[in-house]
Structure 1
């Protein structure tokens, strides 16, 4: 998020000058430029700690015109601060208006009383106060007949003074009048109260509406009996409009104009606060599938246009008094249903949304399609809470995306409990990386020809503080889904290369390579070659001792240029679990691949008398060698398997027969023993 200009101490004076320029363009300011700069620089230092005081100070400095506030709001970068400045401005303006009205009221009442007692001896003074007042003033009798108004009141509503004097107080009613207003008026003319103050709207003669701060006071005769009422009105239309705009900005998404997360949360809380014993509530929580791809390839402007179109379609699907559509963040939206007829209403709504969003989008010159995933939750209000409801919807959406996208999934408590556990792991992963809860073990790769330790494969483990040690199959898919895989993968590569460089320095004759697994996301990252370069340079590892293991899908789906860039650096590339995907040896001839790692199920087949499995392995090894690739067999568990693989020409074996994954010190000990044996043989 961009830091507002006034928060940089060196920019305070610059910001104050910009503020002054904005003000002087909009309204006359009763200060010279130098004095105004000093004043605004002082207010700038108060924006963070006391924004309400800034608004009040503007009014106290006689900068009370609405244009001053509007100009101030325009240059502020922070909506929350702008809202608080507006609040302080409005409160100070209201207080100043009240003080002015009270002074005028006192003057009018005093003048009127003096006129009555002194037989109108100061009529001219009262007339001057009445006629020249900046606020509207009207006097009416106890039966509601308006007997006199000043020019300001007549101008405010578009009447002539003479016409207004023919009207009655009820003629100036408005549909938005508070329900209790007329009761207060009855109490006023009955003498039960001396004044009434409230915000009231009036119709103008041109059909427009003006909002006022209205105070109506009772004038009594010399015996204390009610005689007249005097109303004083101050136009507050601009202030209310500005307040409405600020409130709308605080509760609505600026791009789509849908209710934002804060308003959805408020609406949901209101449903729970006013729910009856049998009330129900439903939520459809949806996420656009593939939006990031569209945003990245076609640009953010097209992405924004797409979000606006999605918002329009969601509004069409949620028309009705019990439904509301909102944008939570990014490409996440929520549909809230109050008192649904049952789960069927929610699933029907989800189906209509999926159908609507799947229609083509024409975005300028681009025509595209889009799908969405939706998590659907319907529940009795008494059985849940707003936080639990949204959490269930979020988890259910997560299931919908993991099950293939372009679909809706309804809430299931047992399934979501399992999903919550996965979600918890996913959420904990970034902090776990910072806390160094991840560690590496290394599984040896052995030459089948002579039993020599030729390399190790780095395997990551998570030492979870609650669940203990977790294997990669528990968290790598989650890391891939959440994007944490990029940071985790980089850490694995850094640690592996640093450790391999240590072994290369301590045991140079061993030429021990280290294999590191790369996921699809990592391979598709454009900066991968440059990142690998930096890691190799930092660790000092010879690139020829690094093997990057890729899945078949990562190799086939990826542009070969980054892979060739890695191979050109001397790094070897291996295809992991070969034979389980859809790659073929003919295609591999065109790719910079050096090693095939034969999937474990082919090795399992060698334990039986299956001729077919042996022929498959033999064919793969022969064809791989023909195009210059070496073959590593995975999951070798028995000596007969190892013997058969050696006889079939397989180069390297990996599995529990040779060694289980071990910590770095244990690999170091293996290398030390191997060196000692070699030295002993040389000596004899």
Structure 2
């Protein structure tokens, strides 16, 4: 039964719970309490009812009878009330035996009255119990505040006395041990032993001296051997003769500070210029390398926008940072080539990288702008480009330059989609071999230099002179309106060449020339065919008596018919199983051991027999058949490589050529992954070879290459040096290997130009930490020269032509095979 009367006493309502098994006694007690101004929240006659009422009413004090008869044990009920609710309990009982008193004392009652008792005695006991409880609650609140403060600061507490060996720990201490105790004790020696640094142990040991104070950073070793950093603040309190301190785990902060210190060292010592920008792209800091590179002092650029003093804005330059921010690209990293201004106004090329720094709200808080002077790289690029496209002796263009210029000229469509007409003039010196053999190569070289100069002097600025090699020259004459105009040009060239040349030998020497002339598109529609046409006309002039010219006059119908036959045949070849894959070994130049093999596509036409890839691959690319053919070759190569591995054969990689068209198609990387999964071949066993022309195809190719690299596939740049790839682009590509084109390898022993190019490519690969492979190695002399350049891998007829898979297996080490 619950009473709901509320009478104020001393400006506070005191709510009392009665637990008494005798109802008459309980009602009398309730009446007396109400007379004293207390509110009786309920009367219970058992343990269970008492707990339920207290849980529901939450009284200020409970008056508990010890003997509840069948209702249970009052002492036991008091203990539960204390543990669960902390409510003060006053025992009202007729028992005072030592046993009962001892049991009752264990529950720490707030009073113990023996029946019968006076009403004023009960009133005083209740008031004193409440006063004691109020003091306890204040203490509890203080302890709770202290605990919350420890929790908020994630602090642990350490305490030890002079006269005891125990070190007590409390608070946030779970990080000290693998377990997570609420508190535990160490012996003093055990505690100090976990502090790694001897100096810290000594300082803590000295804390018991009068006035001992320690503020330190210490390494603590957990029981799982992990080391953490603790920040410790402790003091010796003389009055109590004990040490009390606090500590907290600052491992994350220490690690962050170390990283910041490392970053600061990098920032200060880096050779690359680094500028820290705020979210508005204004300078907040710059490192010493920035000042050394640009001449701008830190204080001169502080608060300024880089576009206002650093970037040389030109019409061809990238979008400025200010424009990028306006375009919504603030959180996107950017890198590329730029031109920068020094303080004195001079320009220099630079490779610049801008990286956004994201704040806690995932918004850009800062930018890190870094850049380096690429002048040396540009110079090296120009030198390599010059070596790759110019003849070392005469300074004229070489064969690679010729191919490039012819492709450019053939692709021009000045009006109405029609190709621009131009002429190719092939010049061969008559009698040069005799002079070279008689007077020596040095004299022959002087003669070639003079002839090259004369040819250049008789050309327009738009025309291109080329030295193919030996005594052969080619001229590209652009914008030819009338073929008959070439007659006067040829006559002037013949006159200029036959003029005597004074080489300082006393008597001048004299040579003549045979000239062949071919027109594009009249006589040929491709680079090779145009060169062949001009070459054929030159031989016709030579056969006619030399010192003259001849025009090409053969019909072009045969070539058109051949192309149609190849296209139709290719459409049938895949389904008819006319295509096959041969393998050319890739070997170590040191010992000739097998490293891998390159998959080479071959086609045997049922009527025309073997057709070389140089004939059908261009047709396949033009018609789009290369996609299906390329996928077939990839699957065949992966499957064969997997079978070799399953048979126990060991090799580093198999290489497969990839056309630019394949790389441009979305999903190429996924098709490669599917081929690898179908064959169950590890990606690192596959190397894809791409040509430099592939790199001119834009971002889609770059995305494909990065996706392939993410798969783990290796990438090689084939025929390196024959195209126009930028070294800046090369720096961005995920390339593993450069392959020296066979055109540079063929004349290594005779042509200083090819030798210089091969050397430059090998050095470039070494500098950029790329592997290098030489193609077309046919002689031991070529092998030895390449080894001298530290080129360690090659393929070519010196070792083996392309062979069937079964024949290649003879190259593998016999021990590599699994027993049958």
Relative CO higher for 1 or 2, CA cutoff 8 Å, sep ≥ 6? 1
Larger radius of gyration: 2
TM-score, normalising length from structure 2?
A: 0.33
Larger helix fraction of residues: 1
Larger strand fraction of residues: 2
TM-score, normalising length from structure 1?
A: 0.39
